[in-house]
């Protein structure tokens, strides 16, 4: 099966986790491929904390306009190779302020370049602004209010990311309340490094429309029923879950069971560089391990598109495009 030809939807990909060797070399011209693999790819990760160390190295070289534009172009190059037709790209604006940019400038630079690349490559997109677990309450509120301030149809949602084992949800409840009151769609990382209770707590306290990862939901049948009943979409990132030590092999991954139980799931890369993967690679692995065929992937992509944070018009257009390929 030639997965390159399949049109795809991706809802969970981090801009700061996707820098290719070519992009890094433009900022760090002396870096070798071996150094890049050691510092920017998470092949030696044992857990989520190791994975996040690679993110820090990428963020260090995404601190000015040139570097941010470079990252966007690089990601769209990769999306085009994967034949992605709709993508939601997430990033934390407050991570890119070390060289004088303010948070609004960061969003504007990334948004404008995404619009250029989107038009050039015919890939529709939305941006999701992230707050992070270790951020303060004011940091989270500042991030979500940027979405309101911009009021741009391409800034589509709000996310909570980073280490769920080390930091509770408390600092972020007000930001997600603000999002709900201002009709901002929300997702949140949960049920990755922690068990199913993390997903339950996130749904109860943050009331999100989707869950990033959520793979530990398999531990509780009542939660699985709730996810189905409330039509909560799970943004599944198989290779990432192996690198962060959630599962030791793909055969243990619950994505196939989720699919068979008619949960809404989509397939994603999470961090293309850190996970050293592409959507084509993810599809090949799922096909090999679980015998997934074109229909499985079509259903997942339609699920993802229905759960996307874009307009109903774009949802209908992309779903029709997927069905007619």
Q: Cite the active site residues.
A: 192
Report how far apart, in Å, the C-alpha atoms of 198 and of each of 117, 185, 257, 294 are: 36, 20, 20, 32
Element (H, E) at 91: strand 84-91
DSSP 270: B
Q: Which two tokens stand for residue 304?
A: 């993802």
What is the rounded CA–CA span in Å between residue 35 and residue 14? Answer: 21
Cα dihedral across residues 281, 14, 39, 36: positive or negative:
positive
Order of strands across the sheet with 124-132? 8-14, 84-91, 124-132, 155-161, 185-190, 210-213, 233-236, 265-267
Residue 168 has a CB neighbour count (10 Å cut-off) of: 11
DSSP H helices, the chain, are 21-27, 33-40, 48-60, 65-81, 103-121, 137-150, 173-181, 196-205, 221-229, 238-243, 255-260, 279-290, 294-307, 312-323
Residue 228 has a CB neighbour count (10 Å cut-off) of: 14
């Amino acid at each position: 099966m030639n997965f390159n030809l399949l049109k795809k939807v991706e809802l969970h990909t981090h801009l700061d986790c996707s820098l290719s060797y070519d992009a890094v070399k433009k900022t760090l011209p002396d870096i070798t491929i071996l150094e890049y693999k050691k510092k920017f790819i998470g092949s030696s990760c044992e857990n989520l904390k190791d994975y996040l160390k690679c993110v820090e190295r990428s963020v260090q070289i995404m601190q000015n306009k040139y570097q941010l534009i470079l990252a966007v172009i690089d990601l769209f190059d990769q999306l085009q190779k994967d034949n992605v037709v709709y993508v939601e790209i997430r990033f934390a604006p407050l991570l890119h302020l070390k060289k004088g940019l303010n948070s609004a400038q960061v969003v504007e630079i990334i948004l404008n370049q995404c619009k250029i690349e989107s038009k050039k490559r015919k890939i529709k997109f939305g941006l999701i602004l992230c707050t992070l677990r270790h951020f303060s309450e004011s940091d989270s509120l500042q991030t979500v209010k940027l979405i309101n301030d911009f009021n741009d149809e391409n800034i589509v949602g709000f996310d909570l990311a980073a280490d769920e084992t080390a930091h509770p949800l408390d600092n972020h409840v007000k930001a997600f309340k603000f999002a709900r009151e201002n009709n901002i769609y929300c997702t949140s990382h949960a049920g990755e490094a922690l068990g199913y209770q993390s997903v339950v707590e996130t749904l109860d306290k943050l009331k999100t429309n989707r869950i990033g990862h959520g793979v530990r939901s398999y531990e509780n049948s009542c939660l699985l029923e709730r996810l189905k009943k409330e039509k909560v979409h799970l943004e599944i990132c198989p290779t990432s879950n192996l690198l962060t030590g959630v599962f030791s092999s793909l055969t243990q991954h619950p994505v196939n069971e989720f699919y068979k139980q008619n949960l809404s799931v989509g397939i994603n890369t999470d961090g293309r560089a850190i996970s050293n993967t592409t959507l084509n690679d993810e599809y090949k692995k799922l096909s090999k391990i679980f015998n997934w065929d074109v229909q499985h992937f079509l259903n997942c992509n339609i699920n993802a598109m229905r759960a996307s944070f874009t307009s109903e018009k774009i949802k209908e257009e992309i779903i029709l495009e997927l069905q007619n390929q």
